[in-house]
Structure 1
Amino acid sequence: MCNSNVKTAGVAQIDGRPVLQPAGNRVAAPEGAKPLKKSLQKSLSMPASYDNAAAAAATACTAAPKSTGAGEFARAAAATPYLLPPTPAKAAGAKAAGGRTAASTGADKSRKQAPRKSGAVLPVVTFAALEAFELAGPAGSIAAAQREHVTQAQAQRKMRIAHYGRTASFSRVEGKVGATATAPATATAALEEKRCSFITAYSDPVYVAYHDEEWGVPVHDDELLFEMLTLSGVQVGADWASILRRRHIYREAFSGFDVDAVAKYTEKQMASVSAGYGLDLGTIRGAVNNACRILEVRRDFGSFGKYVWGFVNHKPLSPGYKYSRKIPVKTSKSESISKDMVRRGFRFVGPTVLHSFMQAVGLTNDHLVSCPRHRVCSSSSSSA
């Protein structure tokens, strides 16, 4: 009896003998390979641009002579862009944007229709291969230049760490280099001898001229001493620049600071001066009182100058300050002079006012030692 399944069976040759086997055990013909599914072909296929780039790279590599080194190969590879298949994110974005364009669709169709040559191997240049060529590149290549740059940067960083805290700041170094590079030797010497630090580029020209010509110069004339004593008292609560700009007004109001003339001012004259020149009446009365006290000092000491300079043994004091913040507003000497003048009946002669008066008439040389006027005032006091 025959089974119905025998119909599906077949005869196969095993070791030269016919053997009855089911249809599922048939051996496939070696020459007739099954074609791949369309979905698998589509997933394994590359874009047309990638095929063209790879073919161009292959042509450049084959066209180069054998004597060409690794540098030529790197340049040929650099001329060809490294194209990779689109990532899933890019594919999803393209799908969301509306799919492929008509040009890309036509390129896919032409690629499917074009037959592939069996045995053709496309050269693929990867990033790992390029990095290997760069690392092994000869001297003078881009990789060698990059390594040299990194080495120099590391050496400079080590030098900065080693010399940290030993060099001047950039701003000071830049200022010194700019000054020495652009200015001659005479200008450099002038920069080294700066004025007192309270004289800046924004200071009033009147105040700068007063600093360069009068401040700290020894004064022995009674009229000028009386003028500076009056201006020092008025300067309380104001600045020297505003007082110096109104100096000519004070000179006219007080008759050129003539001690004898001011001492004879009556109450009516003082009111007239106050109204005519816009000065405070108390200031005018104080100046008239001080003029009367100076006349008394003249009778005792011969002159007001001898009386004042007697407190410093007729020789100006020279503290030798290096920084303006070290200059005090009053000293023990100004306090002693103030006490004696208050005892004699002077007005507006507190310790601070007296110290300002001493600086103005040269009783103390408070110019900074770096200021050129410090030496000038010292030499003028020695010659006097």
Structure 2
Amino acid sequence: MEKIRCGWVTKDQIYIDYHDNEWGKPVYDDKKLFEFLILESFQAGLSWLTILKKRENFRKAFDDFEVNKVANFSEDKIEKLVKDEGIIRHRGKINAAIHNAKLFIDIQQEFGSFSTFIWSYVNHHPIINEWNSIKDIPATSQLSDQIAKDLKKRGFKFLGSTTIYAHMQATGMIDDHIKDCHCRSL
């Protein structure tokens, strides 16, 4: 019998693997949280499948998402990234990723970790929603609005409410698996 999955999952194996093994599972590791911030910011205006297919290229291009390295990318490195066909070559998003890396480090220094900071918005426990269908799942929430607003005040770029909501889903701060999905938290 075939497993029931959320309606956004296509038959593409990379999507199935991502859904079954990552999406909605709590992430507390700063490196992984930074990776998802980068990937989600590059996803804006594109499909998540496009990003997943380029994920390994992003990993190489962004030095395995080592935040301290990304924060110190030089102009030469930026020019290499703009020419790298393996990633999304959007200069504004590339510059934002570097800028956001510096602010990510500031948050780590202020709170001890980015994880402590971001998970404090949900009292360090995932929000488990009760959706019957993918149609019920919102693109934003009051909480994603608040986090996006707070990050914007800190100077973050390319991280609006929709991007933050997707980040919360990806990192398990929110479990938006539909009720019938085999991955849903109980």
Same fold (TM over 0.5): yes
What residue number does 2:67 align with? Answer: 259
Counterpart-to-counterpart distance in 2, 1:325 and 1:253 = 35
Deviation at 1:267, TM superposition (A): 1.9
Tell me the equivalent position of 1:209.
17
After superposition, give the CA deviation of every residue in 1:82-103 in whole Å (9 maximum; x if it has no partner): xxxxxxxxxxxxxxxxxxxxxx
Aligned to 2:139: 329
3-state DSSP of counterpart to 1:374 = coil
Q: Relative contact order, CA 8 A, sep 6+: which one is greater?
A: 2
Q: Distance in 2 between matches of 1:369 and 1:323?
A: 8
Q: Which residue of structure 2 aligns with residue 291 of structure 1?
A: 101
- Give the Å deviation of 1:276: 3.7
Partner of 1:270: 78
- Residues 17-65 of structure 1: CA distance to partner in whole angstroms, max 9, x if unpaired? xxxxxxxxxxxxxxxxxxxxxxxxxxxxxxxxxxxxxxxxxxxxxxxxx
Distance of 2:25 and 2:33 partners within structure 1: 12
Pairing 1:33-52 to 2, within 5 Å after superposition: none
- Cα separation, 2, equivalents of 1:199 and 1:253: 27
- Within a 5 Å distance, the mapping from 1:301-380 to structure 2 comes to 301-375=111-185
Report the Cα distance in structure 2 between the residues aligned to 1:259 and 1:334, rounded to whole angstroms: 23
Cα distance, 1:240 vs. partner?
Answer: 1.2
1:283 Cα deviation from its structure 2 partner:
1.6
Q: If the length of structure 2 is used for normalisation, what is the TM-score?
A: 0.94
Amino acid corresponding to residue 271 of structure 1 in structure 2: E
| Structure 1 position 273, deviation (Å) | 2.3
Residue 49 of structure 2 is matched in structure 1 by: 241
Q: In 2, Cα distance between the equivalents of 1:198 and 1:254?
A: 28
User: Unaligned 5+ residue runs, structure 2?
Assistant: none
Question: What are structure 1's unaligned runs of at least 5 residues?
Answer: 1-186, 379-384
In structure 1, how many angstroms separate the alpha carbons of the residues matched to 2:138 and 2:78? 35
Shift of the alpha carbon at 1:319? 1.4
Alpha-carbon separation, structure 2, partners of 1:258 and 1:267: 18
1:250 aligns with: 58
Q: Displacement, 1:346?
A: 0.7
Query: What does residue range 1-384 of structure 1 map to in structure 2 within 5 Å?
Result: 187=1, 194-200=4-10, 203-277=11-85, 279-375=89-185
Structure 1 residues 321 and 275, CA, compared in 2 at 3 Å: closer, same or farther? same
Q: Give, in angstroms, the shift of residue 268 of structure 1.
A: 2.3
Percentage of identical aligned residues: 36
Alpha-carbon offset, residue 269 of structure 1: 1.8
Query: In structure 2, how many angstroms separate the alpha carbons of the residues matched to 1:257 and 1:317?
Result: 26
SS in 2 for 1:336: helix
Offset, 1:315:
0.4
Distance 2:7 2:47 in 1: 16
- Aligned mates of 1:246, 1:198 — CA distance in 2: 19
Distance in 2 between residues matched to 1:276 and 1:212, nearest whole Å: 30
Give per-residue Cα distances to partners, 1:75-132, cap 9 Å, x unaligned.
xxxxxxxxxxxxxxxxxxxxxxxxxxxxxxxxxxxxxxxxxxxxxxxxxxxxxxxxxx
Higher Rg: 1
How far apart are residue 198 of structure 1 and its match? Answer: 2.5
RMSD: 1.4
AA aligned opposite 1:268: D
